[in-house]
Amino acid sequence: MSDTERQVHATARRAKEAAAELAPLGREAKDAALHAVADALVAEAASIVEANAEDVQRARRAGEPGAMVDRLTLTEERVAAIAGAVREVAELPDPVGEVVRGSVLPNGLELTQIRVPMGVIGIIYEGRPNVTADAAVLCLKSGNAALLRGSSSAYSSNTRIVEVIRGALEKTDVPVDAVQLVPGAGRDSAQALMRARGLVDVLIPRGGGSLIQAVVRDSTVPVIETGEGNCHVYVDEHADLDKALAIALNAKTQRCSVCNAAETTLVHRAVADRFLPRFLADLADLGVTVHGDDAVLAHDDRVVPATEADWGTEYLSMDIAVKVVDSLDEAVAHIREYSTSHTEAIVTDSQSAARRFVSRVDSAAVMVNASTRFTDGGEFGFGAEIGISTQKLHARGPMGLREMTSTKYVVTGDGHVR
Amino acid sequence: MSDTERQVHATARRAKEAAAELAPLGREAKDAALHAVADALVAEAASIVEANAEDVQRARRAGEPGAMVDRLTLTEERVAAIAGAVREVAELPDPVGEVVRGSVLPNGLELTQIRVPMGVIGIIYEGRPNVTADAAVLCLKSGNAALLRGSSSAYSSNTRIVEVIRGALEKTDVPVDAVQLVPGAGRDSAQALMRARGLVDVLIPRGGGSLIQAVVRDSTVPVIETGEGNCHVYVDEHADLDKALAIALNAKTQRCSVCNAAETTLVHRAVADRFLPRFLADLADLGVTVHGDDAVLAHDDRVVPATEADWGTEYLSMDIAVKVVDSLDEAVAHIREYSTSHTEAIVTDSQSAARRFVSRVDSAAVMVNASTRFTDGGEFGFGAEIGISTQKLHARGPMGLREMTSTKYVVTGDGHVR
């Protein structure tokens, strides 16, 4: 075992002990701690911005692109917004203790299944230092200890934010070790976290596809896969084409860099001649590059020929793949082959088409006559989300506080034996 | 990629295609298929017993112990019992399509979270050929394709049972490839299944601890850990000692070879002098070997000194570890250190003791004044179980049909955009 591994596992053991203290705490104690954290973030905003300046300077010197530097940058206003988000989490209902089901068994045993914290949640994430506070607070509210492993690019900011949070927790009932930064920001510290089975209950990677795939491949700790979204909009032959146009454009362009943005539009051949000219013209006006199949190319000479790779690409940019299909079933088959199972939408006025699409598309969210952009914890009314699960085990779709819990059966008898 | 891996992955691809056909089938179609399977098992009982005889003969020649040979053996009566169990599964409610939650969002979008099949479930299991039919049928009823990888010791029986099931499915709406035996019974075929990420949605190992740990370590497919049970009974200072005696004896001896049998009894020092003499005498009468700490040794010279290893051992035999503790908190700390988080019981008449134990013991099931032996899908009223999960992700405790499903969000609008 390397030094880093030893250090990371020692941190995880402290987290496990803290989790045992944190789990039985009631909502009042947890919310008081969250408000203390928010107060401390506001009070220490200047020192957080100062620590952040080191990360920003390093990124600038390394010639990082402006958008990346912007995502990294904290100002006192941004820190205040983070503190505000912490207070919003405090307002959310506590998922812990909820009775999921309950009954009296024929032999008189009382059976209840209740929601309990997971224990220790490891979060492996990339550049944005606001994730540090967000993730810590969602873990605390759901009764879990947080082990945070941010990127080296934000190490100075993350270190200071965690110091401030831990300082605030000292005066509360929540144990300080319920929030810890994993020592080191190298690849070995992430690896050590992935191998801490028995100490860490679940790992949630937040970031790009390569980060997520690396965690899925290497972790012996159970992982919840999040966020990759090769989302599709299918314009059915029975679509209202005005709605279809609005939805297809919104899904691509309202915010193209996020996982619930659409990457491919599939258009039924029966409406292609009426739909495509308007759609392609609007996309061009909005600055979107279209990668199209032959049928799409025939409509507009600004269209770039699509390659096989385009159908599987999550562009996260002002690019879109467009394909004409002969049937709903061909659209479903295309989606089953290329989708990351995040979100797919159908635009149709046909009940039977909607029913067939919904039952045959195997994705976390299926939209009927609505933009893919609605797959979001906030939009779904969960108040906050730790990520969007694209796997089928445990949680699927936006993960709110409830999805950060497990359950436990409590069985009460009066001397019952078999 | 080896030949075995290619073959296993080809099998998994067929399973994935079958799963897409199976998922939208309604209960009527699935139940009709289950009854056809039951009919075929009865009709083909003789050929199944004949195939089984080869496995039994091989086991006898290899000098396997009698209990193992018995578990492997099928008779026409046992095949009839398997068919009866298949019909019982057909009687259970279909979990697929259940609305888990639903609401109308402020913007008018209709949000429903519905239960959907996982897709392809891989089951890796040991000797007993009845698991082949049980697992296949639970997968079918929950809308999942089953990839079965049994042990080489039952290969002939398993092959015939799967042939019979597939033959029965040919005349139903359920695709034949919804039930397949993984080709080969060597270690490489299990490994290939564990690496079939993207083709297999979840792997459930059923068997001993070493099998389960190997799957957990090597699989890139998400795994549900099942079945290891180092279960504890804690006799509190406020226990009714008659109830405590009945529960502690039942938990150990009613059926000592199963995962919900107790392996350790913890006794509060305040009641040790009154409880232990009766308990140790009864255990001796029942033929149980006691591994005790010093305080227990002092009571009875038939007690064997417990070593550190005893506290962590799942005996699955007529052995028990017994320890005297100074407090409920010491009992909880012992359990947190050594338990496999399956089931723990407290015997107490104190509300506050029960409350503290329940909130601090982090196990799938916590019993108050009841035997650990009640942690079971049948006892809990689930009708059938695929295993007992000892992990926190996805399912915890007995896994019935509902735990073999995932969910999907269906969002219906009328041209909604953000």
pLDDT digits (tens, 9 = 90+) for A130-153: 999 999 999 999 999 999 999 889
Most trustworthy range by pLDDT among A190-204, B22-36, B172-186: B22-36
A286 touches chain B (CB under 8 A): no
* pLDDT-derived band at A16, boundaries 50, 70, 90: very high
**Distance between CA atoms of residues B205 and B225, nearest Å:** 7
Gap from B50 CA to chain A (nearest CA, Å): 36
**Distance between CA atoms of residues A75 and A49, nearest Å:** 6
The pLDDT, as a whole number, for residue A78 is 95
pLDDT digits (tens, 9 = 90+) for B330-369: 999 999 999 999 999 999 999 999 999 999 999 999 999 9
Q: At residue B272, does pLDDT exceed 80? A: yes
Distances from the Cα of B407 to the Cα of A66, A370, B113, B116, B375, angstroms: 39, 20, 6, 5, 25
Give A-chain residues touching B406 at CB under 8 angstroms.
392-393, 396
Topology of domain B3-225+395-412 in CATH is Aldehyde Dehydrogenase; Chain A, domain 1 (3.40.605)
Rounded to an integer, the average pLDDT of A291-304 is 96
Give A-chain residues touching B20 at CB under 8 angstroms.
336, 360, 362
User: Which residue of chain B has the CA closest to A111?
Assistant: B380
A243 touches chain B (CB under 8 A): yes
The pLDDT, as a whole number, for residue A415 is 97
Q: At residue B203, does pLDDT exceed 90? A: yes
Gap from A42 CA to chain B (nearest CA, Å): 32
Q: Is B33 left (phi over 0), alpha (psi -120 to 50) or beta?
A: alpha
The pLDDT, as a whole number, for residue A213 is 83
A402 touches chain B (CB under 8 A): no
CA atoms within 13 A on the CB side of A52: 23
When CB atoms are compared, the residue of B24, B201, B411 closest to A365 is B411
Query: How many Cβ pairs closer than 8 A exist between chain A and B?
Result: 214
* pLDDT-derived band at B56, boundaries 50, 70, 90: very high
**Distance between CA atoms of residues A33 and B24, nearest Å:** 47
The pLDDT, as a whole number, for residue A212 is 84
Distances from the Cα of A382 to the Cα of A97, A165, A401, B107, angstroms: 17, 24, 8, 15
Q: At residue B127, does pLDDT exceed 90? A: no
* pLDDT-derived band at B199, boundaries 50, 70, 90: very high
Asked if B323 contacts B334 with a C-beta cutoff of 8 angstroms, the reply is yes
User: Which residue of chain B has the CA closest to A216?
Assistant: B220
Please judge whether A417 and B247 are an interchain contact, meaning their C-beta atoms are less than 8 angstroms apart.
Answer: yes
Q: At residue A99, does pLDDT exceed 80? A: yes
Residue A145: name the closest of A30, A45, A38, A222 by CA: A30
Query: For residues A29 and A130, which has the higher predicted lDDT (pLDDT)?
Result: A29
Find the radius of gyration of the CA atoms of chain A: 24
CB contact residues (below 8 A), chain A span 23-52, against chain B: 23-24
A364 touches chain B (CB under 8 A): yes
Please judge whether B371 and A111 are an interchain contact, meaning their C-beta atoms are less than 8 angstroms apart.
Answer: no
Domain ranges within chain B, ordered by starting residue: 3-225+395-412, 231-378
Gap from B18 CA to chain A (nearest CA, Å): 12
CB contact residues (below 8 A), chain B span 123-162, against chain A: none
The pLDDT, as a whole number, for residue A211 is 83
**Distance between CA atoms of residues A191 and B264, nearest Å:** 35
pLDDT digits (tens, 9 = 90+) for B204-245: 998 877 888 888 888 889 999 887 899 999 999 999 999 999
Please judge whether B414 and A119 are an interchain contact, meaning their C-beta atoms are less than 8 angstroms apart.
Answer: no
The pLDDT, as a whole number, for residue B212 is 84
B397 touches chain A (CB under 8 A): yes
* Domain B231-378 falls under CATH 3.40.309.10: yes
Give B-chain residues touching A350 at CB under 8 angstroms.
none
Residue A389: name the closest of A216, A140, A217 by CA: A216
Q: Of the ranges B30-39, B200-209, B238-247, which one carries the lowest mean pLDDT score?
A: B200-209
SS3 A228: coil
Asked if A148 contacts A183 with a C-beta cutoff of 8 angstroms, the reply is no
Please judge whether A392 and B23 are an interchain contact, meaning their C-beta atoms are less than 8 angstroms apart.
Answer: no
Distances from the Cα of B44 to the Cα of A378, B6, B85, B158, B167, angstroms: 56, 32, 16, 13, 11
The pLDDT, as a whole number, for residue A214 is 86
pLDDT digits (tens, 9 = 90+) for A357-387: 999 999 999 999 999 999 999 999 998 899 9
CB-based burial of residue B197 (10 Å sphere; 0-12 exposed, 13-18 middle, 19+ buried)?
A: middle
Gap from B414 CA to chain A (nearest CA, Å): 5
B62 touches chain A (CB under 8 A): no
User: Which residue of chain B has the CA closest to A349?
Assistant: B414
What does pLDDT average to over chain B? Answer: 95
Rounded to an integer, the average pLDDT of B377-388 is 91
Gap from B408 CA to chain A (nearest CA, Å): 5
Q: At residue A280, does pLDDT exceed 80? A: yes
User: Beta partners for A149?
Assistant: A124
The pLDDT, as a whole number, for residue B409 is 98
* pLDDT-derived band at B41, boundaries 50, 70, 90: very high
CB atoms within 10 A of CB B329: 12
pLDDT digits (tens, 9 = 90+) for A315-349: 999 999 999 999 999 999 999 999 999 999 999 99
Give B-chain residues touching A236 at CB under 8 angstroms.
none
Q: At residue A218, does pLDDT exceed 90? A: no
Q: Of the ranges A50-59, A343-352, B67-76, which one carries the lowest mean pLDDT score?
A: B67-76
* pLDDT-derived band at A124, boundaries 50, 70, 90: very high
Share above pLDDT 70 across residues of chain A, in percent, rounded to a whole number: 100
The pLDDT, as a whole number, for residue A384 is 84
Q: At residue A227, does pLDDT exceed 80? A: no
Task: Name the CA dihedral angle for B99, A99, B263, B227, rounded to a multiple of 10 degrees.
Answer: 10
Q: Give CA angle at B409 (A329, A345), nearest 5°.
A: 40
Share above pLDDT 90 across residues of chain A, in percent, rounded to a whole number: 87
pLDDT digits (tens, 9 = 90+) for A391-406: 999 999 999 999 999 9
CB atoms within 10 A of CB B238: 18
A217 touches chain B (CB under 8 A): yes
**Distance between CA atoms of residues B380 and B376, nearest Å:** 6
Please judge whether B369 and A197 are an interchain contact, meaning their C-beta atoms are less than 8 angstroms apart.
Answer: no
What does pLDDT average to over chain A? Answer: 95
Please judge whether B359 and A202 are an interchain contact, meaning their C-beta atoms are less than 8 angstroms apart.
Answer: no
The pLDDT, as a whole number, for residue A128 is 86
Q: At residue B379, does pLDDT exceed 90? A: yes
User: Which residue of chain B has the CA closest to A107?
Assistant: B379
Rounded to an integer, the average pLDDT of A207-214 is 82
Q: At residue A187, does pLDDT exceed 90? A: no
User: Which residue of chain B has the CA closest to A25?
Assistant: B359
As a whole number of angstroms, the longest Cα–Cα distance in chain B is 80
CB contact residues (below 8 A), chain A span 99-118, against chain B: 103, 105-106, 109, 111, 113, 116, 118
Tokens matching residue B386? 């695929």
